[in-house]
Amino acid sequence: MNKYNEPELFEKYMGLHRSKSGVEASDEWTVYKTFLPNFEGKRVLDLGCGPGLHSEYAAANGASKVVGVDLSSRMVEQAASNSKFPNVVQYETNSISDIDYPANSFDSVISAMAFHYLPSFDDTVKRVKNCLVDEGSFVFSMANPIYTGCSDADWYHDNDGNILHWRVDRYFDEGRVVADFLGESNIYMYHRKLSTVINTLLDHGFKIIRVAEPEPEKREITDFSYELEVQRPRFLVISAQKMKQ
């Protein structure tokens, strides 16, 4: 069962400022949006669409067709029920690991904070490549390898329980890690080195356009503590392009 189908975690996620206020409230959005292509007239695939914020953004900015995919049926239902562009955006309940769209189905593939939940980044990139047109754009964010670089991703505390720093241990050991998110334990993510992410894209014929590790912005309303977030990178954002074969 997908964790975001569990009522308690789903309600906590939908209670986040970013879920209620739109893409502008996402901590990585200021950087992420500068990586996005011109959506005018484009066919867009949104992988791990969640409540549909990025799918709706693409439609609002001129996309001719948007397909939002998420494993959580609750997320898909939420996205579909709130869609302002039902004639443009189609939401599907499916695993990113199972997508199998025909060649040249999309001009752009986007994804926000989903790929760290997938056991194989290599397989994901293959599937994206297969359905993307030549010179199509591939923009995604994911948990930073520093964030996942520990078998039990969490802060290191002193004897009095005070937070000292973020634990990074056995960074070179790629695989499943356990994280605590929104007070929920046993959230499984998959750690992979930054070099693995970059080289996988290159190995499958993508050109790296830009890479960023967004710093948190200090603002009045946020979902996370600014003082803690500046102690380590939480996001990795990459813009790539599928090269002609």
Mean pLDDT of 210-232: 67
Higher pLDDT, 111 or 8: 111
Residue 153 is predicted with a pLDDT of 60
- Domain spanning 3-145+191-242: CATH 3.40.50.150: yes
Instruction: Identify which of 3-12, 13-22, 164-173, 219-228 has the greatest average pLDDT.
Output: 164-173
- Give the side-chain half-sphere CA count within 13 A for 115: 27
187-202 per-position pLDDT tens digit? 788 999 999 999 999 9
4-12: list long-range contacts, CB under 8 Å, 24+ apart: 4/50, 4/71, 4/72, 4/74, 4/75, 5/72, 5/73, 5/74, 8/184, 9/182, 9/184, 10/72, 10/74, 10/75, 12/182, 12/183, 12/184
> 């990586």: which residue's tokens?
35
Instruction: Note the pTM of the prediction, 2 decimals.
Output: 0.86
Residue 10 is predicted with a pLDDT of 54
Residue 223 is predicted with a pLDDT of 46
Question: CB of 37 within 8 A of CB of 240?
Answer: no
pLDDT > 90 in the chain, percent? 55
Kindly list the domain boundaries of the chain, sorted by start residue.
Answer: 3-145+191-242
